[in-house]
Chains A and B, each alone.
Chain A
Amino acid sequence: MADPMRIRARLEGDVADVRVLMAHPMETGQRKDAAGNVVPLHFIQTITAHLNGKPVFQAEVSQAISRNPVFGFKVKGAKAGDKLTITWIDNKGDKRTDEMTLAAG
């Protein structure tokens, strides 16, 4: 089971400025371990965000993204009390979903 994400959002009017911090090794498939064996590819492939169950954001990302990545984006039409759900899925099929409730800015 993957570690939880840290989701932070600031409301400015009806725009939510969202920062998501994810715990993930994001292996590039190019690194070798101490024994000289290639560490297999392991990276987040898809990130989706839902606001009150409605999809607002989807990203297809590659192994070029750093370890423990941070994603930032803005959502229009958000208000205090809305539920923001973020999900990532990696190339091994592991996934993690976390939810937060927007607070008045």
Chain B
Amino acid sequence: MKRALTLCVAATFAAATAFPQPAAAQSKAGAAKPPPTAVERDAVTAEFEKFREVLEDANPAELFEAKGEELWKARRGPNNASLERCDLGLGPGVVKGAYVHLPRYFADVDKVMDAERRIVHCMTTLQGFKLEELAKRPFSTANATPDPVALVTYVAGQSRGMKIAVPQKHPKERATFEVGREIFFYRAGSYDFSCASCHGEDGKRIRTQQLPNFTKADQAIRAYQGWPGYRLTGGVMHTLQWRLWDCFRQQRFPEPGYVSDSLTALLTYLAVNANGQVYKGPGIKR
């Protein structure tokens, strides 16, 4: 079927070039499917924005924030400890405003960590959970939401309305940013693709979805904005760990490990590019 269609299109194209048609017929053929003008595209985008506003008015992500708060405060795991001593970078137990300063360097592990990675680190060190167990089912499904997902949603919600200020003071933070940039522009895989293929230029889109250019601050916020996000498709809560994992899957890259160095690096690159923009809290997606 697909082959037949391709042939048909090729034949039409050949006919059009080989035998120039009268002007009237040409304009009629053109009128059947005119490409959308810039104004029409903007109008469609504006309609989507209205739709998004309505959705944001009552975002089920709030349910996961509440769940995450409960998990944060509860004594759990083999050590029967709560996460209230977990240091997200602003001191043990400080959650308010921590998310907009992540990823950052943590001296205790001598590494840069993003929000989900740090939370998972706390779950393993404070509560005694096993990373291998957590990494077995890291992403939400229709049947289950992993604990780190709810926890990240709670932590992110505690930075609602704050300006993104990801530090770049420590040499490792700067090095991580550089590695992230490298990954962003690295073309490879069976599609010869990179993140920048879709997100490195203005005005690109997939179907009706506008693609932000993450190399610019005002658009890089859109990589951060809305994540963690509640996806209406399937009704599941997802984090940036999932989002980036899925980007690599779509590019036919080897999928990065859960809470791995490469994801922290890429998140650092995206977050630093969005520095200075206001984070609006967990979002809602189609």
Contact = CB atoms under 8 A, between A and B. Distances in A.
Main secondary structure on A side of the interface with B: loop
A6 B232 contact: no
B78 interface: no
B68 to A, nearest CB: 12
B60 A33 contact: no
B238 to A, nearest CB: 14
B58 interface: yes
Contact of B232 (A3, A23, A66): A66
A96 to B, nearest CB: 12
A83 interface: no
A72 interface: yes
B66 to A, nearest CB: 7
A68 B142 contact: no
Interface residues of B, number: 13
Interface residues of A, number: 15
Interface string B54-84: 0001111011001100000000000000000
A19 interface: yes
A13 interface: no
A21 B63 contact: yes
Given A66-B232, A66-B235, A68-B235, A3 B58 contact: no
B60 to A, nearest CB: 4
B66 A68 contact: no
Contacts of B66: 3-4, 6
B6 interface: no
Nearest to A8: B58
Nearest to A19: B58
A6 B63 contact: yes
Most chain A beta-carbon neighbours within 10 Å: one of B57, B63, B66, B235? B63
B60 A70 contact: yes
A21 B62 CA distance: 9
Nearest to B235: A67
Contacts, number: 33
B142 A72 contact: no
A58 B58 CA distance: 20
Given A4-B66, A23-B63, A33 B143 contact: yes
Interface string A39-52: 00000000000000
A68 B60 contact: yes
Contacts of A95: none
B58 A21 contact: yes
Interface string A3-18: 1101010000000000
A76 interface: no
A24 to B, nearest CB: 10
B65 to A, nearest CB: 9
Interface of B: 57-60, 62-63, 66-67, 142-143, 230, 232, 235
Given A19-B58, A70-B60, 16 more contacts: A3-B66, A3-B67, A4-B66, A6-B66, A8-B58, A21-B59, A21-B60, A23-B60, A23-B63, A26-B235, A33-B143, A66-B232, A67-B60, A68-B230, A70-B58, A72-B58
Interface of A: 3-4, 6, 8, 19, 21, 23, 26, 31, 33, 66-68, 70, 72
Interface pairs A-B: 8 shortest CB-CB: A67-B235, A68-B60, A70-B58, A23-B63, A19-B58, A21-B58, A6-B62, A68-B235
